[in-house]
Amino acid sequence: MKKTGAQIVNECLVQEGVKVVFGYPGGAIMPVHDAMLDYPIHHVLTRHEQGAVFAADGYARTTGDVGVCIATSGPGATNLVTGIATAMMDSSPVICITGQVAAHLIGGDAFQEVDVTGITLPITKHNYLVTSADQLAEVFKEAFFIARSGRPGPVLIDICKNAQVEEAEFDYPKEISLPGYKPPKHADMNLLEDAAKMIGEAKRPVILAGHGVLMSGAMEDLRLFAEKTQTPVAMTLLGLGSIPASHPYSLGMMGMHGEAYCNQAIQNSDLLLAFGMRFDDRVTGHLRTYAPRARKIHVEIDPSEIDKNVEVDVPLVGDLKTVLEDITPIVSPKDNEEWLDQIKEWREETEARDILSWPDEEKLHSAHVIRDFWQKTGGDSIVTTGVGQHQMWAAQYYQFEQPYKFITSGGAGTMGFGLPSALGAWFANPDKEVWTVEGDGSFQMSLNELATVVQEGANIKILLINNSYLGMVRQWQEFFFDKRYAATPITGPDFVKLSEAYGVPAKRVTKSGDMENAIEFAQNTPGPVLIEYQVEKEESVYPMVPAGAALDEMIRRPITQKKASS
């Protein structure tokens, strides 16, 4: 049956199981929005296109399925750019649909014409320019497949106005033909055996669990492998939730703001098992000093990650879950007691230094705030974040027991991600508790989306860590720029009043004594709520591996601080 291109777009979305899209209208995409009224697809009007792509990303990361956003041509499309780059860096499956001027006008600088496929070429996994309606069905089928398979990533579909209006025969393809796109599944059998041998020989192995664990759904396989080989599991920021925080083999987070004992374990390891992670500079520290005595096995679906940052001994290119299913039966059970005991010792030292072990003296420390939040939500909430110190505190002090619960911009570190990604997460999980941990700087980049939250009745709770600074940058200035606080003191509105003006009940907490009922207030109030914590202004995130230092050369929390307060 013949349909208009705009109808075909919606037909394709329905075929792919899409129930909600996040977007913003405009001239070049009007036919698609118009047709959407006739389909069972809910359109969420964000207050900025960047919010739409962040929301689609949050949707994707909490479900493992594709999130969809939609924008008009020109400025609408360019407003997506930061969000697309964010999704690309974190391999998040997002489909971006943009309007484009009519095909015959392309290249003529028509009103709101921007070369969006050109602009997004390096920040998408793939992109398409659709110039006629008959291309649409095939393009959508391919785009969804590409976005969610292999190493996932954003795919942009730029649709000329004429292609939305003209008619074409609609028949959703069952098969696709992509001769250049066959994501690997099983790793090379010989290499697998080499890896098994190395694992057998190792005395101080550490697993490095990355985002790939969640994306291939390999949590259970990871646990079985770790338990069989008695190998502790360090997680990247995006790998949190790979194994429950309370699991005896969990080492928590590695890297720049990772647990000290976790970094010590990595540096002293004789075998690193990198599972779906890419040795980002934020987790390796200085490369030449990285885990100098460790052999390395890298399980990775994207061959271009092999030897990119760290040269490895055995590359296992394949889907992590499949590779673990293949390798676990051929490794022999191990006893690494001595190694685990050594790590335990480091861990005790770390814990003694932790601010959680110190009295708060009525002061409001962010770490205490996050711990309180973690305890009151039973470690069971979906938590999205902005970027900065609050993000790191959330990662350090919220103990994630489950995967797909911690949603944060890792590779790009994009401020403004928190609230809109929570919106997307809530649409994917309307029955779960959804919180966003925001910084005062990050929140001010996206607080316009409060209106969207209210319009949609989204049950999102906002935990605002207000330190009156762009705190993470201030911390760098404190450590490396002689405390010259250039461009980092930041004011904000009265966040409680602002929130209430949007129709969001709010509460302010200024000292530790007031912390008591704040989270309960949010939990017991239906709909969105904001809690502002006016925390200690000049606190730093510890430990910290300075850029260019070895992973175990961490700046630790000054012990004098403890003495002073106890």
Ligand X SMILES: Cc1ncc(C[n+]2csc(CCOP(=O)(O)OP(=O)(O)O)c2C)c(N)n1
E strands, 228-303, are 233-235, 250-253, 271-275, 295-300
- Name the residue nearer to other proteins (CB basis): 315 or 416: 315
Which of residues 1, 17, 190, 491 is near other proteins by CB under 8 A?
190
Per CB under 6 A, residues contacting ligand X are: 386-390, 413-415, 439-442, 465, 467, 469-473
The partner in contact with residue 180, picked from Mg ion, other proteins, ligand X, none with C-beta cut-offs of 5 to 8 angstroms by kind, is other proteins
Does 318 contact other proteins by CB under 8 A?
Answer: yes
Residue (424 or 439) nearer to ligand X, CB: 439
Q: With contact defined as beta carbons under 8 Å apart, do 547 and 255 qualify?
A: no
Q: How far is the CB of 126 from other proteins (least distance, A)?
A: 5
Q: How far apart (Å, rounded) are the C-alpha atoms in residues 461 and 530? A: 6
472 is in the binding site of which of ligand X, Mg ion, other proteins, none (Cβ under 5 to 8 A by kind)?
ligand X
Report which residue type is found at 125: K
CA 463 to chain centre: 18
499, 419 Cβ separation under 8 angstroms = no
- CB nearer to Mg ion: give 57 or 532: 532
107 binding other proteins? (CB under 8 A): no
Catalytic residues: 49, 111-112, 161, 472
- Least CB distance from residue 519 to Mg ion, whole Å? 20
Query: Per-residue DSSP letters for 152-211?
Result: ---EEEEEEHHHHHSEEE----S----TT-----SPPHHHHHHHHHHHHH-SSEEEEE-H
Q: Tell me the residue type at 286.
A: H
**Site membership for Mg ion, residue 92 (CB under 5 A):** no
Counted residue by residue, the chain has a size of 566
What whole-number distance in Å separates Cα of residue 433 and Cα of residue 422? 10
> In whole angstroms, how far apart are CA 104 and each of 32, 160, 329?
19, 9, 59
Q: Decide: is 439 part of the binding site for Mg ion (CB under 5 A).
A: yes
Residue 387 partner contact from ligand X, other proteins, Mg ion, none using kind-dependent CB cut-offs of 5 to 8 Å = ligand X
- Residue 232 binds which entry of Mg ion, ligand X, other proteins, none, CB below 5-8 Å type-dependent: none
Coil, strand, or helix at residue 305? helix
Token pair belonging to 259: 């647990």
First and final C-alpha spacing in the chain: 77
The verdict on 288 binding other proteins (CB under 8 A) reads no
- The correct pick among 127, 236, 467, 512 for binding Mg ion (CB under 5 A) is 467
Sign (positive or negative) of CA dihedral 375, 380, 381, 385: positive
Among 304, 510, 517, 561, binds other proteins (CB under 8 A): 304
Work out whether 471 is an interface residue with Mg ion (CB under 5 A). yes
> How many chain residues bind Mg ion (CB under 5 A)?
6
Q: What's the closest the beta carbon of residue 245 comes to other proteins, in angstroms? A: 32
List residues near other proteins by CB under 8 A. Answer: 117, 121-122, 125-126, 129, 146, 178-182, 184, 187-188, 190-191, 194, 197-198, 302-304, 306-308, 313-315, 317-318
List residues near Mg ion by CB under 5 A. Answer: 439-441, 467, 469, 471
